[in-house]
Every structure is written in C-alpha cells, then in structure tokens.
Structure 1
Amino acid sequence: MRKCLSLFLIFLCLSNFTYAQGKFVVQNKKGSDKIKFQLINNLIIIPVEINGVTLSFLLDTGVSKPIVFNFINVSDTLEIKNAKKIFLRGLGEGTLVEAYRSKNNVFKIGDAIKFNQDLYAIHESNLNFAPRLGVPVHGILGFDLFKDLIVEINYANKFIRVTAPNKFQYKTCKKCVKFPLEFFNNKPYINVKVSINDRQIPVKLLIDSGGSDSLWLFENDSLGIVSDKKYFNDFLGYGLSGSVYGKRSKIDEIILNKYKLKNANVAYPEPNSIVLAKKITGRNGTLAGNVLKRFNVIFDYRNAIVTFKKNNYFKDAFRYNKSGIEIAHSGVRLVKESDRSVVNRNALANDNHNNGTRIVIDTGYKLTLKPAYKIVELRKDSPAYHAGLQKGDIILAINGNSAFKYALQELVQMFSAEHGKKMKLKVERNGMVLNFTFYLVDFFK
C-alpha cells in the first residue's frame, strides 16, 4: 500500500511539473506578483530573467513569440542551444529577416516562471531600441505571458501584476469599461469607433502595447477612413522588415464606449509598409501606447476580455514632435567638467623666479564620458529642416544648456513643447561647431 501511495505521489509531482513546464506559473502562495516597469516613450520596459540572466524586455501585446536582439551579443551568455535558422517578416518595406529559433529556455518574470519557452534571436541592427529610448532593451515579450496569466498594466503607478487565472477576482468598478477581444495569429484585436469628419466609424484595431504612437489607421475610402487635408509626411517607426513612413494628422475622437479621446494623434502608414497587416480580415489599424497609457488595463486572454479604467494620464494633451528632428544616442563624448572634489585648483603651481613665469597644472577639471545625441531623422519642410540642420549632426547644446545634462526622453519632450517656442541648437558637423535657431510650429494650428 505504501509503495503504491509513493508511486502515486511521484506520478502526481511529475505530472504537475510537466504541466508547469508548458506555461507561466506564479510560484507563490498568492498566485500573484507585482513587477515594476519603466515607462519610456509610452512603452513598457520590464526585467525578464532568461536562463539565469536578467535582461530588459519590451512588453508587447503585438508579438506572438519572445524575440532576443542577437546583435547585442547575449546569445552566448544565455546559453542558447539547438538553434534553428528561420526567416521572419513584419511591418516595413524590407526583405525577410534572418532569425534563430531556440527551444527549452527558462523565462522568469517576477515570481512567474516558465521552463520550456521558445525564443527567436534576430541579428537585425535596426531593431536596436536602446539608442531611441535611451535605455538598454534586449528583446520583446508578448503572447506567451498574456495567454497564461491575467495581466494588469497599471500605467499610472508603473507596475504590472500577473495573476494565475484561478486566483484572480474582478472587483466592482463603475468606472471600468470591458471589451471582448478577438485573436488572430495570437494577437489581440478590439472593436471600437473613431470619429472622422464628424462621422463615427466602427474599426477593428490591433492592441499594440509595443507601439509608442496613439493610433494607426489604414486608409479606406469606402469606409470613410481617410486622412484629413491637414497632414504631413513623416517617419513613423521601425518594423521587423524595415522603416515605416506615412502621414501624420489629427482625428476628431477615439471612442472607447463611454470614454472619448478628442483631437487625438493619428498616423496613416504607407500601403507598402503594411501589406501583411492588411491581409487580416477586417483590420483597420492599431491602438498603441499613447492611448493605452491613459488607462489602467486588465488583459484576460482566457476569457477574451480587456478592461479599461481611465487614470491620471487620461486628460493629457496629444503632443507630437514640432521640430521635425528625431534624435538617438550615438555613443559617448569626452567632456571637460569642473571637479568640485579639488579644494585648491592651483595646488600644482610652480613659480620660476628666474624668468618670472608661472606654470599651473589645472587640477580643477576632469575629463568624463557623456552621452552623445545625434539627429537620425529629419522631416522635410520642418522647422529644423528649414533652419539648416542635417541628419548626422551631433547636438551639443539646446537653449544654452549642454545636451548631455539631459536624459534622451527629456530632450524629446522639448521638441513637443508649445507652438512658437524658440529653439537654439549648437551642433557638431564634420568637426565644425555650428549654431542654428528655429521656432516650434504646430502644424495643425
């Protein structure tokens, strides 16, 4: 009897372990855990441990499988084994992207763990988000986490909570609105309405927490989804298969049940960049981070429900870059700074009484490495373009303040300031220091 009982217990333990291997499981008594994140440019950056190595990942509802950016040389550290070469394609006008598929990796997010996670390692350098965001980003994670656990994204307080479905309980919430989710290729879609030229239009949108824009719409004359006459052409971002360009404009409203977001930003990507996306029956565009961050969101994939509750970001104005330049980290520069730790700056002075000369070794300064910021995109006919700035210019100072004193996102926000603000930029171009002045222009005023 004891032998049978022991065998039964061993079988039960093995069964539970095998089941846990196939999905994310929260390994604590509560069945729930809270993980802090960084919110940068409307994107969620969370810590993810892979095979014992902690990395920074973008939490992206728009991806099916985790992707590791292999160009940062983490593959050896992660001990990725038995990788098989495949080719992937996504947004953008480029060709197929070479990737390596790896199985049986251990993923850990807070107390949530999965033992046999697939991942894809990609060498494409354009997918390096670090220069654009100002923080290291080693990969992207999406569907595999959302399908196994209830994921609450608290944009206001910058944390996610992952909970086992059998431990989760919905609270009474009069301010919440719920929407049914539809899935295609393991990606979530929501049906909402947009108002264009005073006409309300039902649209099916991909929910994409990995996009920093507000709303992308695919132009369709028959449905009335057309850009306003007031628009400008712009760089919209990078997709898996290359750069995406299109029109930027404004929309009357985005309507999520009782919540209405007025005068919202909208982008209309060029058709060549969204060939695959348009093949999804009924899809009209993408709902992205600059809308999502205005809510605290609960994703319940098992019941195909998403819940929105407005937060402190809800009434924020929809801003956009009024300068026409996009900047990114571009290595470091040696900068001469005052060294406050030195009490006597002239302590190493030597008087030569024979000829009346005085030699001073200035110990009050030190050379330090500081981030360099480069112009990586320049919109034609923008204020910066007409001022004479060029792609490749290294920004040394803005309005009299050294650029290295600011985080990348602080500089980006400067270019989204109010209409008419004066901008004075000092830049380095081919070894020469040049000065430019322009005024921010609100194209839609």
Structure 2
Amino acid sequence: MLAKYSCVTFSVFCKVMICMAIFLPLLNVYAQDFAFSGNRTKQSIPFKCIKNLIVIPLFVNGKGPYDFVLDTGVGPLIITEPSIIDSLNFSSMRKIKLSGLGVENVDAYVSQNVSAQLGSAKIKYIPTAVLKEGLFNLSGHLGIKIFGLVGFDFFNSFIVDIRYSSNHLIFHDLKRKVKYRGSKVPIIIEKNKPYIATEVVINDTVRVKTRLLIDTGASHALSMDMLDGGAFPAPNLKIKANLGMSLSGQIKGHVGRISKFYIGKYVFDNVVAGFPNFESISKKIDLTNRNGNLGGEILRKFDVQFNYQEGFLYLKPNSNSRKAFQHDMLGMVVYLEQNEFKRVLIGEIDEDSPAERAGFCPQDEIIAIDFKSIDSYTLNDISELFKSWPNRTLIFEIYRDKHVFFKLVRLEKRI
C-alpha cells in the first residue's frame, strides 16, 4: 500500500515511465484521432480545477463518465483503475515493465482495444497503458476518485482552449477558424510532449535560458532539474523539502524562489520552484532534452490555447495572474486514505518545518481544523489554508493511537 504522497509537487511520476519511447511503437499501429461526429466542430465542457490540475469527465468503452486528469505530460491514455474495463484479461495483453523515477519493475499492460469519449468527441483504439493495481493514489491526493490520465491524443486532435478563468475546456476541430486570444508563443512537440523556451533569473543576477516541458499534470509552478549536464543551480535562500513520494521512497531536494520567470512577453517575480536531487533523478529519467517542467501553478494564471499541429500556444492573462506565488507555510502533506476516501491523514513532513516542530506525525488523522469538522473542507481547501498568510495560527484536532488531542501551530513563510 502506497501511504505517502507528493508534498511540494504533484507531477504524476508513473507517466515518466509509461511514456518511454520503447512503449510508443507498441501503441501506434491502430492509433486514431479524437473526432466529432456529424457537423459539430466545437464544444465546451466544464472541468474541475483541483490543486491546479484539470479533471475532466471521460467515457471509456461507452461507460462513465469517469474523472480523468487532462495532462500534457503523458502520451498514451493511462488507466489507473482497471476495474472500469469489463472482462479485462491481463493474460492476453502485452506486459511491459515500468522503471524510472521512483518505480522499479512495476507491471503495466498495453491495450489496443480501448475507446474513449470526451463530450461529443470520440476515439477508437486509443493507445492505452493499464496499471493492474492502483499503485499511485491520485484519488487520495486530489480528494475525488481519479481513474487515469489523458493527454497527447486529445491535444493532437483539436485546437484546445483551457479557460482557467472559468473552469471550461473548449476544443475546436482543426479545420475550424479559431479566434486566438492573447500572445502567441511557439512550442515544440517531441515524443508526444510539448516544450517551451523560457528564461529565468536566479538570485537577482544570473539570467538563464531554459527549455521546459509544459505539464498540466503537475501542481507546482516550476521544477528545475538540470543545467549543462548537472544540477540546476538553486537560489541562495532555499529549504530542504520532500518533493514527492513514490514506491521506492522519498524524492528529496530543495524549494526556493526564482527571482524572475519569463514566458513569452510575460514576466513573473519570486516564483516558487522545486530543485530535486540531481544525482537521484538523473539515474532514473532522461533529462537531456529539458531543464525542467512548467506546471499548473503558472499555467492557471492564463487562459491557454494549444495548437499542437502548428506548434504554438496563445497566453491570455486572467485574474490569477496578479496573485503572488506562495509556498506551503506548514510543511506537511495531507491525503485521503484509500479505502473509503473519508479519513484525512498526514503524510510526509518537511524537516525543521512548523509541522515538525509542533509534533505532528505521519499517519495522524485530522478530525478538525479551527474547530470545524474536517468534512467541511476539501483537500484543495486545506492546501490553500496552509498557504494563506504568515503568523496565522491554526488549531488542529488530531486522532492518534486511540487518543484525541489538540495542536496549535503558527504558519511561517519559509522562503
């Protein structure tokens, strides 16, 4: 049982391995595109934005809808809950071994007989990876049942307009004339993933050109992984942090602030970024074609229009663009336990954080915060509460070892 989850970032680590080049040739034989039926050329559907991630209702093999994460960081459809496919015979499916960041020799299965539908858009024989077991607790992290991830095949089939300002997804037939909004920025599609050229300033002085993976499946703003074959230089002011959790253990590193971040004609100050331990991740994943990734905390500051076919996107700032970047001021992650998704438990706790000094422990159950039952909060509410403002005092009611007690902790701006 996977009992701990991403603390600073939620970039679904399983996708790193599933989308390996060795996997793609197995799935492209019968690949088609999403397409509207009849005369429809455009559709708008609402989505849920949870911890900066886009959750959409997807039908699989005619059943559903099931909640999937819309993720530019994945190639094939990834199903994390195989129970949604009737009569799935794993013995007749091609098995592959996943290995990479945090995963060693985990079984996944290739299916060429899955259909999917989003709104009125359908696809047959979508390239699909099926995990035999729910190894990555996406549902526990987001607070709702998540059944998988969908990415490249959808984005490659349409002009996709993500309206973070109104939580709506608008997708257009590629032949339809579309009115673009905002500023045009070129992107490059490589191995079914989008990359963008940006620049960052470190410690107010050093300006660096960067190539980043655009990753709607990551909660964070930035993850800076590599520069010139080595670790990306972290700022002088930084804190140790658990950047994620996977089957083989913690993904450790630091969190700090990038002085300035340039994307297209836009610039952001004091952007929170993760700096994972280079020695650990470089042995697991190929970093040669990127310096890091750009996640939802920045993307949600815009309404974004993707055109994979022509290699560009449009960025139009929305009301989120004026909000400052805040880091978790408590220093711990919370999640829903996997059985009934009702109990809120504490996972990883950052070293020398307010949470550690207050005496919280992994596996503590949170019953109430500020005398309000935990049932009145979503996980998204709790995440925002932990980033609210420095010196705010929170009162936790905790259940541990058959005892209930209270803890007071003061939020602290750590970077």
**Could you say whether these structures have the same fold, taking a TM-score greater than 0.5 normalized by the shorter chain as the test?**
yes
Q: More deviation in 48-57 or 265-274?
A: 265-274
For residue 286 of structure 2, the aligned residue among 275, 279, 282 is: 279
Q: Quick one: distance in 1 between partners of 2:191 and 2:247?
A: 16
CA contact (8 A) 1:156 1:312 kept: yes
Match of 2:402 in 1: 431
Change (3 A) 1:311 1:392: same
**SS of alignment partner, residue 404 of structure 1:** helix
* Structure 1 gaps, min length 5: 1-19, 334-369
Code of the residue aligned with 1:38 in structure 2: it is: K
Partner residue of 1:160? 169
CA-atom RMSD, angstroms?
2.5
State the Cα deviation string for residues 141-192 of structure 1 (Å, max 9, x = none). 0011111211111111111112111113234x4xx22222222221110001
Moved more, 284-293 or 189-198: 189-198
Deviation (angstroms), 1:245? 2.5
**Are 2:348 and 1:377 aligned?**
yes
Query: Equivalences for 1:15-30 in 2 at 5 Å?
Result: 22-30=32-40
Please state how far the C-alpha of 1:307 moved relative to its aligned partner.
1.3
More deviation, 76-85/98-107 = 76-85
Matched, 1:57 2:63: no
2:121 aligns to what? Answer: 112
Contact (CA 8 Å) 1:97, 1:241: kept in 2 or not? no
1:339 aligns to what? none
Q: How many residue pairs get matched? A: 384
Sequence identity percentage: 29
Contact in 1 for aligned 2:232/2:275 (Cα 8 Å): no
**Inter-partner Cα distance in structure 1 for 2:250 and 2:43:** 37
What is the one-letter code of the residue matched to 1:428? Answer: Y
1:386 counterpart residue number = 357
Which letter does structure 2 place at the counterpart of 1:87? K
Aligned to 1:85: 95
1:44 aligned residue (41, 54, 58): 54
Q: Distance in 2 between matches of 1:238 and 1:150?
A: 34
SS at match of 1:136: coil
Counterparts of 1:277 and 1:300, CA distance in 2: 31
Are 1:230 and 1:249, in contact at CA under 8 Å, matched by a contact in 2? Answer: yes
Instruction: Measure how far apart 1:61 and its partner are.
Output: 0.3
TM-score scaled by structure 2?
0.86
Call closer, same or farther: CA 1:223–1:380 in 2, change over 3 Å.
closer
Q: Which amino acid aligns with 2:350?
A: R
- Give distance in 2, aligned partners of 1:21 and 1:443: 48
Q: Which amino acid aligns with 2:320?
A: Y
Per-residue CA deviations over 1:8-46 (Å, capped at 9, x if unaligned) read: xxxxxxxxxxxx982111224231111210000000000
Contact 2:61 2:115 (C-alpha < 8 Å) held by counterparts = yes
Distance 1:319 1:124, change over 3 A: farther
Aligned residue number for residue 199 of structure 2 = 193
Task: Describe the SS at the equivalent of 2:343.
Answer: strand
Task: Name the TM-score, length of structure 1 as normaliser.
Answer: 0.80
Q: Which amino acid aligns with 1:148?
A: S
Q: Distance in 1 between matches of 2:87 and 2:300?
A: 34
Counterpart Cα distance in 1 of 2:213 and 2:247: 16
Aligned residues of 2:35 and 2:122 also touching (Cα < 8 A): yes
In 1, Cα distance between equivalents of 2:53 and 2:162:
12
Q: C-alpha distance in 2, partners of 1:278/1:102? A: 24
| In 1, Cα distance between equivalents of 2:406 and 2:170 | 48
Which residue does 1:261 correspond to in 2?
268
Please list the CA deviations of residues 290-312 of structure 1 after superposition, one character each: whole Å capped at 9, or x if unmatched. Answer: 00000111111110111111111
Q: Are the counterparts in 1 of residues 155 and 308 from structure 2 also a CA contact under 8 Å? A: yes
Q: Which residue in the other structure is 1:236 paired with? A: 243
Q: Is the 8 A contact 2:90 2:109 kept in 1?
A: no
Code of the aligned partner of 1:330 = E
Distance 1:134 1:301, change over 3 A: same
Query: Which position in structure 2 is the counterpart of 1:351?
Result: none
Give the structure 1 partner of residue 3 of structure 2: none
- Is the 8 Å Cα contact of residues 127 and 238 (structure 1) preserved in structure 2? no
Q: 2: distance between equivalents of 1:409 and 1:88?
A: 30
Aligned CA distance change for structure 1 residues 440 and 67 (closer, same or farther; 3 Å): same
| Pick aligned residue for 1:100 from 101, 105, 109 | 109
Structure-2 change in CA distance of 1:28 and 1:260 (3 Å): farther
Structure 2 CA distance for aligned equivalents of residues 193 and 129 of structure 1: 31
Distance 1:436 1:325 in 2: 14
Whether the 8 Å contact between 2:214 and 2:295 is mirrored in structure 1 is yes
Alignment of 1:334-413 (within 5 A): 371-413=342-384
Query: What aligned pairs does 1:125-140 form with structure 2 within 5 A after superposition?
Result: 125-140=134-149
Q: Does 1:322 align with 2:329?
A: yes
Q: Which runs of 4+ in 1 moved over 6 A?
A: 77-81, 221-224, 239-242
Please list every run of 5 or more consecutive structure 2 residues that lacks an aligned counterpart in the other structure.
Answer: 1-29
2:413 is matched with 442
Q: What SS is found at the alignment partner of 1:413?
A: helix
Q: Which amino acid aligns with 1:383?
A: P
> Contact 2:335/2:347 (CA < 8 Å) preserved in 1?
yes
2-side partners of 1:241 and 1:393: how far apart?
22
Q: Distance in 1 between matches of 2:172 and 2:134?
A: 35
3-state SS of the aligned residue for 1:424?
Answer: strand
* Higher Cα Rg, which structure: 1
Partners of 1:126 and 1:245 lie apart in 2 by 20
Structure of higher RCO (CA pairs closer than 8 Å, 6+ residues apart): 2
Q: 1:66 aligns with which of 48, 62, 77?
A: 77
Instruction: Rate the CA distance shift 1:117–1:411 in 2: closer, same or farther, 3 A.
Output: same
In structure 1, what is the equivalent of residue 151 of structure 2?
142
Tell me the equivalent position of 1:182: 188
Question: Hey, what's the Cα distance between the residues in 1 that align with 2:52 and 2:94?
Answer: 34
Q: Which residue of 1 aligns with 2:313?
A: 306
Instruction: Tell me which residue corresponds to 1:76.
Output: 86
CA positional deviation for 1:276: 6.6
* Letter in structure 2 aligned against 1:44: I
Equivalent residue letter for 1:108? Q
Equivalent-residue separation in structure 2 for 1:33 and 1:79 (angstroms): 35
